[in-house]
Structure 1
């Protein structure tokens, strides 16, 4: 590095991160001089940093761009003290907080319902305390142009609970995030002990209530983001909620959040790998996980009614052909999503699979199972916040269909499964569900089903090895007749399954 020109080193460091630049400054004195230069740290500042500091209260003084960056990593009051802005220390992304006066709080102008006061613990001049009300509704809007482009954000209501707080946890409050036509709606109980993963204590002593997540697009694409929390269905009184504001802070769900080291052979080693991993594997394969798999028969019900499957031997042939078709058509999508468990890959793989599936019944079944799996995984595997962020930012956007195979592979990748286990698990889930459907359709008894599953296991292993680790362009159908039969399911006069 020492022999490289300083402008070359500066150009390289400006493409990294503030953390990398600080680490580079420890190498040598000459590297320190380059790493602390204004040209590098200006690249880490937001493009509109001059306009931001012109709005600060009081004015910001600095001698270098690095000093300015470090000052901006702490909240800076702007716009007459009604907002704060700060930069994420790791990425340099902008984080905004709107004070309570900038929020739309129903009946906040009536002192019978809301009280405005100053708290020493607050960075703002005033906060609002709920005196007593039956209609609780707090909302705010912010334009994505104010935030960093192409970034995932979380919206949080920053509050305290007074000692006299009452009635807040009788009914769950509704939360909403809306960006343009995209909308996420959910609910949360305003009690820390009942929602410990969504109501957290901050380093400044306040509590943050998770409203939801959203994604900003290019800087030129400005959209209004609406954030809301309300509880209006109950007629009971509630009070004691102290509101400081709503904060929009960046949340990284990049690949380096999932993987932080490599094994000796160069393969990725998940930091989520721990002694509890087998339990996550078993839970993902457990039939009690509410993913809707048992609502579908993979065309078996239509095959029985068309007399394609009449006896247990016919069933065994059908199961083997189904597994072959699953391996050839869907394992490449599972594998691709597993390899890169991020939003961009998921969108791409999901779109290709939606175009690949040829019958409407199978397509709807894949979407129904995938949506249920994503919803369940985001609620169960809370140690991976990326799952909830990706689900909430994708709901209602129309850019993703939530097909089952890519979601299954992505979840396994985030949980730290290896490639072979992931693809065998997908084959096992297919085998489990088809045999369960055969039992309920009375083609085979429970004991016979267990025997059949054991007999087919060796064949399933051979098929898994045959189709394992294949790229997307090798995905194909080996049993098109099964696809045709499944497509006839909607024409059955009476039916037990959805597909």
Structure 2
């Protein structure tokens, strides 16, 4: 595999005097290069693959990319694909898992973060159970390019807000954060294409806080509360974290968002999705 450090010297002339050639990166054996690459992030591996043939060959080594895949990547593949060619090299498997994959009828989406190979998942508003969502007096489904899924749920007015979601997934070992993506006010466009936010229905969120709750199959329920106040901007509201210590079996995660104090109405809320991704992303952001 690869070339060694042979032919490092070349004759200058017919005399016994020889001039030594300076070793180059291309002289490194591919297995040594691959060992170095296995300690780098995927984008760095791809950049170094452009250096020369030795780096290009080493950058495709299976053991390099297997170290970037989650330990339970085979379980993830069985969960997100109906059929999958396991004969693919590990680099191609990594590439396929980094592309967003719709699951559960398109109501959920999974992908690996391209830089660190960490598992991420989102649940669309259509994959959530929303009390009264089919009653057009209270809720509307709105198509928009502001959502990953192309559709949001818009609340005009209600006395009883109750949103629930659930997913069972073979998350790799790690700590994960749960977020819900919300906006107070509805984004609209005028005839010139300029976007504005219509806040005429926004009311009631300063009276009582919204309660967020997450539960997993292995942890106790985690509850937090927050007032919704910022209008005209999509906000990721952190609902809590959970820990996965055993990736040999799927973890069931349940999410709820409620404001069921019926002493006042509330409205003007856009609900896009619930996101689950590694907590280290939140700390780094």
TM norm structure 2: 0.69
Give the equivalent residue in structure 1 for 2:210: 173
Q: Which residue is equivalent to 2:119?
A: 94
Corresponding position: 1:142 with 2:163? no
Q: In the alignment, is the contact (CA less than 8 A) between 1:81 and 1:125 conserved in 2?
A: no
Q: Is the 8 A contact 2:178 2:240 kept in 1?
A: yes
Q: d(CA) in 2 for partners of 1:71 and 1:222? A: 21
- What CA distance in whole angstroms lies between the structure 2 residues aligned with 1:51 and 1:25? 30
Using the size of structure 1 for normalisation, the TM-score is 0.42
Q: Which has the higher contact order (CA 8 A, sep 6+)?
A: 2
1:80 is paired with a residue whose SS is: coil
User: 2: CA distance between counterparts of 1:2 and 1:182?
Assistant: 55
Q: Which residue of 2 aligns with 1:224?
A: 252
1:39 to partner: Cα distance: 4.7
Between Structure 1 and Structure 2, whose CA radius of gyration is higher?
1
The SS at the match of 2:145 is coil
Deviations 1:234-277 (A, max 9, x none): 52111121212211011228xxxxxxxxxxxxxxxxxxxxxxxx
Q: Which runs of 5+ in 1 are unaligned?
A: 194-199, 254-383, 387-499
Contact between 2:208 and 2:259, CA under 8 Å: does it hold in 1? yes
Q: Secondary structure at the match of 1:138?
A: strand
Report deviation, 1:37: 4.1
CA shift digits 1:356-402 (9 cap, x unpaired) = xxxxxxxxxxxxxxxxxxxxxxxxxxxx949xxxxxxxxxxxxxxxx
Who is 1:188 aligned against? Answer: 226
Q: How do 1:373-384 residues align onto structure 2 when only pairs under 5 Å count?
A: none
Residues 80 and 110 in structure 2, CA contact (< 8 A), matched pair in contact too: no
Indicate which of 45, 48, 51 corresponds to 2:78. 51
Distance 1:99 1:87, change over 3 A: same
- Work out whether residues 69 and 117 of structure 2, in 8 Å CA contact, stay in contact via their aligned partners in 1: yes
Task: Please state whether the residue corresponding to 1:175 is helix, strand or coil.
Answer: strand
The equivalent of 2:181 in structure 1 is: 158
Q: Which has the higher strand share?
A: 2
Query: Hey, what's the Cα distance between the residues in 1 that align with 2:30 and 2:207?
Result: 63
In the alignment, the residues of structure 2 paired with residue 181 and residue 224 of structure 1 have an alpha-carbon distance, to the nearest angstrom, of 10
Q: Which runs of 5+ in 2 are unaligned?
A: 1-24, 187-197
2:17 alignment counterpart: none
Give aligned pairs, total: 240
